[in-house]
Amino acid sequence: MKAEIEEGSADILKEYTPRYEELRKQLAREVAKIEERKKIASKLGVNDR
């Protein structure tokens, strides 16, 4: 039974890992955009929220 659970967990990881990686990369891009906006706003002397 334990082997079945471990095997099932491996299947779930195989299925969801690519999606997780895609979301992680998307989040990193969004954070980079926010940081860039903050830099631009500080150079312009604008309060960003």
Compute the half-sphere exposure of residue 41: CA atoms within 13 Å on the CB side of its CA.
10
**What pLDDT does residue 10 have?**
77
Where do the domains of the chain lie?
Answer: 1-49
Tokens 């082997």 found at: 3
Query: What's this model's pTM, rounded to 2 decimal places?
Result: 0.60
pLDDT at 1 over 50: no
Tens digits of per-residue pLDDT, 3-48? Answer: 556 667 778 888 888 889 999 999 999 999 999 999 998 898 876 5
**Rounded to a whole number, what is the largest CA-CA distance in the chain?**
63
> Which residue type is seen at 45?
G
**What pLDDT does residue 28 have?**
97
**What pLDDT does residue 4 have?**
59
Alpha carbon distance 42, 49 (integer Å): 12
